[in-house]
Each structure stands twice: as structure tokens, then as C-alpha cells.
Amino acid sequence: MTTVTPPRPDGAAERSPHQDVLRYLDAASTLESTRSEVAALEGSEGVESFNRQLDLLKRRLLSDPRTFREMFISDGMQAVAWEFRQPELSEPFVETLWSMLLRGDDASAVLMRFLWNLPLGKKRAFVRALDTHLSDRYPMFDGLSVDWPAGASIPPYVRGADARSQDFELVNQGYLGYMSLGYTARDIDLFVWLEALRDKQCAEKPCELGIFLAEHREPKGGCPVKIHIPQVLEMVGTGRFREALELLESCNPLPNVTGRVCPQELQCQGVCLHTKMPIAIGQVEWFLPQREKLVDPGGVQRRFAGVVDPWDAATKPPVAIVGSGPSGLINAYLLAAEGFPVTIFEAFHALGGVLRYGIPEFRLPNELIDDVVTKIKLLGGKFVENFVVGKTATLQDLRDAGFWRIFVGTGAGLPRFMNIPGEHLLNVMSANEFLTRVNLMQGLRPDYETPLPETEGKDVIVIGGGNTAMDAARTARRLGGNVTIVYRRTRSEMPARVEELEHALEEGIALQVLRSPSEFLGDPKTSFVTAATLDVMELGEPDDSGRRRPVVTGRSETIRADLVIMALGNASNPIIKDSEPRLHTSKWGTIDLDHQGSQETTLPGVFTGGDAARGGSTAVHAAGDGQAAAREIVGTIDVAPDAITSMVATARAYSDLGATAQTILATSELSDGIHEFTVFSPLIAHAAQAGQFVRVLPRSDGELIPLTLADWDTEAGTICLVVQGMGTSSIEINQMVVGDAFAGIAGPLGRPSEIDRHLDGATTVFTAGGLGLPPVYPIVREHLRAGNHVTLIAGFRSGNLMFWTGPDERVGRLQAQYGDQLDVVYTTNDGSFGVPGFVTGPLEEMLTANQRGEGRPIAGVVTIGPPLMMRAVSDLSGRFDVPCVASLNSIMVDATGMCGACMVPVVIDGKMVRKHACIDGPEIDSHIIDWDKFLPRFGLFRSQEQASRVRHGLA
């Protein structure tokens, strides 16, 4: 083994041992002399003073290190200030300065404050230096100094049109989008800081307050949620990002959302004194919470970790919020933050209202809505989903359940149509329905069951010029459609945000202006739309909105259309006003406010805001209304402490009951493919009335389907559903077992049956075909309870498919209880039981006998069952001039009127108009229904349903 000797220091290997000894003796002598000198000097007055000062300096450094750091920083800033007194900033200085800014420490914060406080000329010199010396590294700096700050800024990162039009990923990714190009989070901080440097800190604050108008009208522009924009920008400009976020969220807990969808060009940025290029306030607003998630992922949970649950504290009375859209969410957050127990009641199975069902994820990711919901939950807020206020419970029911105040933020409601010829054709639908199927029900994903119209390679036209039209058009484009937007005015009059329209055009969407549909044409064999006839328009005199009115020129043209999406705005949904007659509404159906400057309605203790009160408006105006209502509610507590405790306990129990899982308690097979379910759903059971139905979501990735309420038990808190396995969703429901819970059941929906007392001797005839018997049963029971005579004609394909007919079953028990008050006739198509043939056979015999003056007079006919059967009954009763209503469970999505999918074409005074089965029905006068136009709707998604069955092995 070889040992390696390391080299000796100071070239010792080249000297002899004798020389080393001489050097050692010399060094030792020098050291001894130095020690003696040091010892002599230590006792001198000057050295003793120096050591005392040094010791004091050490102690101060340990006790207050910040003082010395700031002293050294101050010295450094003097050097920086000297550089800024030069005509131009040198490249080495700019490189050093920028590297210090990138450090993100105290020194960089001092530099940011220094630069913020510089006069405008020096700021321009700084931006000019960035442009000159750093634009190779940061291409967004190239040309930034030209017309800065008035007309130049760093834009947010927007994905290229070719890539983004193929997916549903976020389009405008904000400043943080630059991270996808390799820039760091600190780089992004500085981009946003540079945007804030443009701010003038205007004393008049038009971005926040707006421009005030005469006669106490709402100001032009400004911030509806009263964000302190100048202060936020100052905090960003001085490097205090977290403080800026805290101030922002103290005004608006939805900055993630409003920063994305607020029309800033009409609000804060619309009145910015930088008229050439307003400061990107919305982008800054959205950036701050997203930055916080990036740099401190668990920050929200820690921030709310010590919050006392308002339901446990019970020091303030509970508040019910109806709807989880922008107005409801901000109202709930602000009240919960003030210590109020709040419960949000939402009609859908997912939270967010129009933010979720109406706005695509390429514009507003669902995770941003979830962020707000999470904060409310951390503050103790409760959420009850699948709860339709006005149906599941009235406003008075909520007051009776212990809620002290109620805020109604239910949105606008019913989509508008044009009532032009051909509007009944298949694949003519509202933007609400189309977007709900895609956004809320995730119909674009192959693992979800919601059917979508075929769009790949199809010609799609979108009627309208607002933001909803842009959302629908861009969604259809991403689904593979060849999309054209049709608008009756010119591009300059379009109410859509400029950014959204520009993005749509960049993505390859065509625009036809000064065009308005006058008729839709269809294939007579399939009833699907094939083309649209467009009237050519020109602009006339201004209308009430100030825009020039479109006028028909007499010329027209026809374009191909495989799918037509109507995006014409919304009318008010009548559900809440119909359930509460004391609530005053306008002639348009919007909820009236009690007095100017208040969000309280004419019903004391009930507040409202957003589209429910305004009609069609914007998310940020809705948020502003929710904020204003919260301020009012906070300042009006008029309940004694002991009463508060009782109210909180009652409201808490009611909220928990509403959120209870809707679980199957019993199930049985009635006949081949038909199953009966008893489901625990106490609030629906309490509210149910004969003739109503429910909206069922079997699982989170399933399809929303309407099912008629077959029965209910108020005391047990159960409802009864009967399901025939036809499509994938219904077949999978029939595979559910006791203990399984539905993802959501909402209701009871629709109008209950109108049951009047008949003249003595008259009878109401019910024709129930197959699965029509379950919905007929509760209506028959109510007629019998009212003292009416009933004739039930129940038809089945064959005797082995019959159910509920035995002596111990539902119909049998009614016969035993009511005796001669109930006549029952059974028919089977194959003649295996009862009267051979269809239900129309016995009905025609009764009608004919009546015509001869024989038998019981027929007060009216109710028909429920297969659509062809209902039409046959309607035609037959019409020949004898006997009233007839048909109960229609048509194609539906939300089943509350919002989507407009359950369109029923009816003829009134010779004119075709539309009714909606979920709002006007489900029972509708069968004699005004245009059955030729209505029946094809049941085949709208036949091919998609067949494909789903094949995909699941159920074909």
C-alpha cells in the first residue's frame, strides 16, 4: 500500500530544516513583541472607549438588528438616488437594480417603495432603461417605454387562438400565465408591480367611486363592490402584495371571480384617467388571490383556523341566503365574517349559480368558485343543495324555520325566445340549456351521461350579441362546430365585452351583423333544424337603450344551421313570486325594493339583489347588491339574546335536515324493468302535492332526469319513485339498493294539480298508460278526498306487466276505502287481462254514452303516460268537446324554468307560443298543444342515448 504525503504549506518542501528553525525563531520574537504592544495599548483611554462602543454596538445589534439593516440600506439607497440623478441609467446599474428587485427581500421592498415615490419623469427613465437593457431577457419590455404610462403596459398572458380553441383550458391566464414560459413567480410580481407604477393615485378616485351624475342617478362606471382600488394599487406599487389582498378581500371576497368576469371596461377601467390604455385593474384583482395560493398554499386554512363557528357561538341571529350565485356568495361571506350563522340554499347540486352553469371554464375555472365556497365553509357557513325555494319551501317556511333575515339572490330565470316559425324544431335551444349541459352537467366529458347535441363538423348559429352569446359560440367552437354569431345590429352596438368578442373572432367564429332570424327550417322526416332564414336589417332611430333600432329592409337570406342557440337574455322566473303573494314585483317580474338606497323588499326582513331585482345585469353588480344587503342586515339586529339562541338552534336543525343524504330505504321490482323506491327526503315529503315531480341526479356524473312523485309520507319523511329502466341513467337507478343515496333530488317541482269539487254525479276520467299509473295515483287520491267521483282507466301492454292492482296494493286500497266513488277499468294491449286494446276504447264508450245522455257526465279527462297515448286521448276528448289535460315530463335539464328545455308548443288565439312543462305544467290543456310539433321532442337525444347504452353494455 502506498502512502501519499500531502504537500506542506508555504513552499516548505523547497526549504531545508535549518532554514525552518530560523524562520520560527524570528516569527516567535515578532509575536511576543506584538503581544506586549497590544497589552500596553489595551489600557489606554482611546482603546478602552473603542471597546465600550463596540460592546454596545454588539448588544444593540442583537436587540434590534432591523435598525442596522435599514442604516446600511439607507446608505445603499443614497447610491441608487445618485444614479437616478444621471441623464440615463447605465446598463450595469439596471442589471444590478433588477437583480435586487428579484430577490424579494426587505431591500427589494425598499427599492420598490423608492421607485413608487419617484416623480413621473424618473419613473419614465426607469422604464426606458428596462426597455433598453432588459428586453432581450423580457420581450414584454420591448417598446414598453413608448407612451408609458398613458398608452403602454405589460399585457396578461393570453393563449394562442389555435391552441385554445381546441380545449376548455383558461384562455386569459393573467400575469401568472407567464410562468408557463419559464418566468418565475417573482418575475410575475414585478410585472404586476410595473402595472401598478402606472397609477396616478387620482384624488377623485373615479375607478372606485365612478363619475357622479345629476338627479341622484347611479354613477357612471366605478366599482359596484366598492373596492378601494387606489389603495390596493398603492400597496402593490410599494411591494405589499399580502396587505393589498387583505384590503381587497375586506371589500370583496370574490376577487378570483369578479376579476375574471366583471366588465371592467364599463366599470373601473371605463373611467380610468389613462384613457388610451386603462390600468389593468381586473387583472391585478384576479392576480392577488392566485398569487397567495401559489406562495402560501395553506394560507386560507390558517387564516380561518381560529374562527369561532357562529352556529356554536349563537350570539347573532341566523340568515338564509337563497341562491349561491355572486350576490348570494358575497352576502353569505360578509355576514359569516361578522359572526352570523348563515345557510345558503341552492337549487342545483353544485354551488355557484350562473357562475358555474353559465360561464365556461375557459373563462372562469370552477376552482375559483370553489375557493369562495371553501372560505364561507371555514367561516361556519352551511350549504343545502337541491333546495328550490318557492317549491321545497316558501320564504315564510324559512322564517318559520328560525331564520331571522332572508336574502334572495335567485338570478333572472327564464330564457327568452322569439316565437317565430320553426322555433319548435329539434336542436333549437336556449344558451342556458346548452351551457348548463356543458358546464354544470359536464356533457363534454365522455365519462358523464348528460347528452349534448352533435356539434362536431356541424353548422352552429348563435343568435344574440351579449356575453352569453360569446360563451355559447366559443363553447360550440371547442366542441368542433362551425360557428356563426348572428346579431341584428352592428358590431359596435354589441353588448358583449370587447375582449370576449375579439377572442371569439380570433378563434375562427364568424360574425353576421344586421341580420335577424325570421324563420327556422327543418327536415320534415326528422324534425331537426336544417337552416335559418335571416332578415337583412338596417339601423333606424335610437330606442330606449340609446342604441339605434334595427329595422327590416325587406330582404332576406337563408343559411345552413344544424344547431341554433338562442342567447337573447332572460325573463324573471316566477317560482318565488308565485309562492309569496305579499312580495311585490315589477311588471317584468323582478322583485321590487322597498325604497331607494335599500336592498330590502316590500316583505320586511327579506332582502334581494342581482338579476332577481335588476333583471339581466352583471355578476359584479349582483355582488355589489349582495354586499349592500349584508351591510344593512348587520346593522339591524333587533332580537333578544335568549331568542337568538332558540332561532339558531331551530335554523341549524332545519339546515342539517335539508342537507341529509337522500337515501333509499326500500325498493322492489313491480314488473319487468319497473322498480319502486322509497327514499328518505323529509323536506320534499313535507311540501309535496299531487301532480308534482322531482329532478333526480342518480350520481355525480349522471344525468338529470324528471320523475313524477308517485307517493309520499310526511310523517316518515319519505317519497316514492317508480322508475322504468329505459336509458342508461334509469337502468342504473334500478340497480341501486337499500342504503344507496342519490347525488341529488330536488323538488317538488311543477304546479300541483287543480282539483275542484264537481257537480254531483259527474266523474273525472283518468287514462293511465303503463308507467302513467304512479303519477295518476296521487291525483286520483286527492280527487277522491275532495269528494269527486273518479273513473280510472289503466292500460298495460299485458297482464304480467300490471302492478299496484292487487287488493293490498295502492289502487286496491283506494277501491276498498272509497267504494263506489271509484270505478277502475283495466285494459291490456294483448287482451290478457281486462278490456282488450288501448285506454281509448273504454274512454270512447263513455264519451259516446255521454253524448246520448247516458252514464255519468264527464267533468274532464286527465291523461298521463306514453306521449302517443296522450295525444290519442286528447284527440278523442276534443272530438266530444270534453276538457282534457295532459301531464308532460318532457326533455328537461334544471326543471325550474332556467334552461327552457321543456318547451311545449301551444296555440292560443291562432298564434303558436311556448309553455314550459316545469313552470306552466306539468299539466297543460291538451287541446292547445300542437302535438305534431311536440311529439318529436322525445326523440331529441335518441342517438346519444343509444350510444350511451352501447358504451355501458346495456344496448
- CA–CA separation, 350 and 148 (whole Å): 45
Q: Where are the beta strands (DSSP E) in 371-416?
A: 382-384, 405-408, 413-415
Q: 689 in helix, strand or coil?
A: coil
Residue that the C-alpha cell 315530463 belongs to: 889
* Preceding amide of 922 cis, omega within 30: yes
Rounded (5°) CA angle 675-680-684: 100
Amino acid identity, position 662: Q
User: And the C-alpha cell for 395?
Assistant: 320564504
Q: What is the pLDDT of residue 5?
A: 37
User: Block means of pLDDT (10 residues each) for the chain, length 955 residues?
Assistant: 39 56 64 65 68 61 52 63 86 93 91 92 94 96 95 94 94 95 96 94 86 73 88 94 92 85 86 89 93 91 91 97 94 96 96 92 93 95 97 97 96 88 95 94 90 96 96 97 97 92 96 97 97 96 84 96 96 89 89 90 94 84 91 91 96 97 97 95 97 95 93 97 92 95 96 90 94 96 96 95 93 95 96 95 96 94 96 97 93 88 92 90 96 93 90 85
Q: What is the pLDDT of residue 2?
A: 37
Residue that the C-alpha cell 339498493 belongs to: 737
Q: What is the pLDDT of residue 85?
A: 86
| H runs (alpha helix) in 635-694 | 641-658, 682-687
DSSP calls for 670-716: EETTEEEEEEE-HHHHHH--TT-EEEEESSTTS--EEEE--EEETTT
- What value does the CA radius of gyration of the chain take, rounded to a whole number of Å? 37
- CA–CA separation, 322 and 575 (whole Å): 12
- pTM, two decimal places: 0.88
The residues, any chain, with a CB within 8 Å of residue 617's CB and separated by 6 or more, are 610, 611
HSE-up of residue 517 (Cα within 13 Å, Cβ side): 28
Is residue 695 classed exposed, middle or buried when 0-12, 13-18 and 19+ CB atoms within 10 A define those classes?
buried
Q: What is the pLDDT of residue 12?
A: 47
Q: What is the pLDDT of residue 33?
A: 67
User: Nearest 10 degrees: CA dihedral of 145, 147, 153, 159?
Assistant: -100
DSSP for residue 340: -
Question: Do 586 and 450 meet the contact criterion of CB atoms below 8 Å apart?
Answer: no
Q: What is the pLDDT of residue 348?
A: 94
Query: Please, what sign has the CA dihedral across residues 897, 900, 902, 905?
Result: positive
